[in-house]
Amino acid sequence: MGSLRQEHDLAGITVAVVRDDALQVLRGYGQADLATARPVEPATSLFRIGSVSKTFIWTAVMLLVERGELDLDTDVNAYLHEVEVNEAFGEPVTLRQLMAHRAGFEDSLQLFTVADDDPRPLAELLIAHQPRRIYPPGVRTAYSNWGAGLAAQIVEDAAGQAYREFLQQALLTPLGMQHTTWQAPRSMEAASRERLATGYRPRHGGLGLQDYLQLGAYWPVGGMASTATDMARWMRFHLNGGELDGIRLLAPDTHARMWQRAYDDRPDAADVAHGWQDMPYRGLRTLGHGGGTAAFLTNLVLVPELDLGVFVSQNSAHTMVPITQLPTLLIDRLTGIDPVPLFIDDIDPDALAELAGSYRNNRRVFSTFAAMLAAFNVTRLTPVSHESFELSHPMEGSDYYRRLDGAADVFENASGGRVAMVRDADGDVVALADAMGVHTLERLGIWEHPNTLMTLVGLASLLTLTTLLGAWRRIGRGGVGTLPGRVAGTIGITACVAQGLFIAAVVVLAMGLADFDLSRLVDHYPATGMFLLHYAGWLVGGIALLILLALWPAWIGSGWSLWRRLHFSLFALALLLVSLQLWQWRIIGADVI
């Protein structure tokens, strides 16, 4: 851990390891606060656990299922008092689908724009921010924070008391998790605030302060904070099948149901078991959840076959290496596994040609302006042998996967992570299920690929430049020209201005995204650059229609040369295609959120 901290510039890490219903390792590394040299104390230092908070929601759901107050296959609208899930696909949404992240909701950034002092209750936020349902229930795994928040609201409505009260009375107090809290940093009691680790991020060659993520009433999905000691008790409770130190909160069969997958379409690859990430690792089944906020990264991994649980959290979010490597290194040590590099041969890479292509993560926005952010989230699959392929991402690097023996559409990398191909009814590959179990990457056609938008924008920009050069070349040559020619020429110059303003808006937005920080969305979302690009996109679309209308006079009465008319027509076509792509990417024709 010392080497990892030094290599990755980490201030502090807290760790708990349990095995055989006992706490085996409880360690703090580094400092919870650099300014005061406050060390990480695993028994008392609070680290925000991010989406590991969701494991409390799913456990609370199962408590109410056991009491007969909830049914996993009933329309959730039957339990909700104020919120109503919109109808789509002629099918209701159930808790089982929410817990499998297969309810079909698009993602939303609006959850991260709610300030901690926002007075709105969770139900009001859920109504205001309800995302569209993009997939029919059960068809695709698509991680949904909003869906998890909806489940917390269902617990609240079914239990007849605030979720925080139910959480405290039904889980935290009985399990002796006395330091676990849902209070936001700014509203924490003084004693808790003094124990909360400070967040850091790389800056100027060292570490700078990183503000905390704000969630308001959405805190159940990612706003809890805990200590390594408390999380060790949480792990022991689940490894014991719902019992801790003689206190049983869930019947063994109820807990076993929670760890069963709701779908069996990829049994050899990663999936979700009623809210828990269910990821095979070198022949073992691991269950757990990761959590990331602006200032913390956390991982909780349970290996029932080894009766092993690992909790690790760090007070910075710029690298995932420590939180992902520590659990697997411990598993390797305990099992005697000696990982070897993945062997890649170079025989007949065309054998996997049907899998080749670009894939885009469906944990994204589909219906509003923020859909354009997915342009930066495309993964390329390239076959490298008859059994292996490379997955490459522009920001995450590349990795190699080899076909798992006995599983035609499941592939494993050298680190033990598995991905699975998803086929449609005709047997064609349409998506890729990722190694985390909670995301699906949809296969892209040419029109959906971001390179198409970039190519068309580049073409339109080139034609803008040549149009301006042509106009400059004609200056001073005399000749008034025909009226249709002057009208078409004016529209052409106006189109150049519109395209220039669009490119400028792209630059402004890109500069704003260069230092993207989740903690700043509360005060900076939607960003000014988003509105500038939106309006500039509409300007391009409007001018594209005008230049199309100008094609007739340009060809019939302008007196232009054939080359100039062809150039003008190509410019009009390029702007039309750009406009259609802007609509496709929701830069225009959608709300700026």
Nearest residue to 280 (alpha-carbon basis) of 403, 388, 412, 400: 412
Residue type, 269: A
pLDDT at 515: 81
Q: What pLDDT shows up at residue 376?
A: 83
pLDDT reading at 284 higher than 90? yes
- Residue-level pLDDT at 395: 85
Query: Could you report the per-residue pLDDT of 434-492, keeping only the tens digit for each?
Result: 999 999 999 999 999 999 999 999 999 999 999 999 999 988 776 668 999 999 999 99
Does pLDDT of 32 surpass 80? Answer: yes
Residue 532 confidence (pLDDT)? 97
109-118: average pLDDT: 96
Indicate whether this model's pTM tops 0.85. Answer: yes
Is residue 192 classed as helix, strand or coil in its secondary structure? helix
Strands (E), 160-304: 200-203, 206-209, 225-226, 243-244, 247-248, 271-273, 276-281, 284-292, 297-303
pLDDT at 207 over 90: yes
Q: Is the sign of the CA dihedral 320, 321, 325, 326 positive or negative?
A: negative
Mean pLDDT of 152-178: 98
Closest CA to 387 of 400, 402, 398: 402
**pLDDT, tens digit, for every residue of 168-180?**
999 999 999 999 9
Q: Where are the domains of the chain?
A: 2-335, 349-443, 450-584
pLDDT the model gives residue 306: 98
Mean pLDDT of 241-255: 98
Residue 479 is predicted with a pLDDT of: 60
Does residue 342 surpass a pLDDT of 90? no
**What are the backbone dihedrals phi and psi of residue 136, each rounded to the nearest 5 degrees, phi first?**
-60, 145
Q: What is the CATH number of domain 2-335?
A: 3.40.710.10
Mean residue pLDDT across the chain: 95
| E strand or H helix at 298 | strand 297-303
Residue carrying structure tokens 């009491």: 67
Q: How far apart are CA 240 and CA 218, in angstroms?
A: 30
Is it the case that residue 397 has pLDDT exceeding 80? yes
**What are 512-526's pLDDT values in tens digits?**
888 889 999 999 999
Least-confidence region, from 171-185, 334-348, 375-389, 516-530: 334-348
Is the Cβ–Cβ distance between 15 and 1 less than 8 Å? yes
The pLDDT of residue 304 is above 90:
yes
Per-residue model confidence as pLDDT tens digits over 553-587:
999 999 999 999 999 999 999 999 999 999 999 99
Q: Can you give the pLDDT at residue 184?
A: 96
Local confidence band at 285 (pLDDT 50, 70, 90 cut-offs): very high
d(CA 241, CA 456): 56
- Residue 310 is predicted with a pLDDT of 98
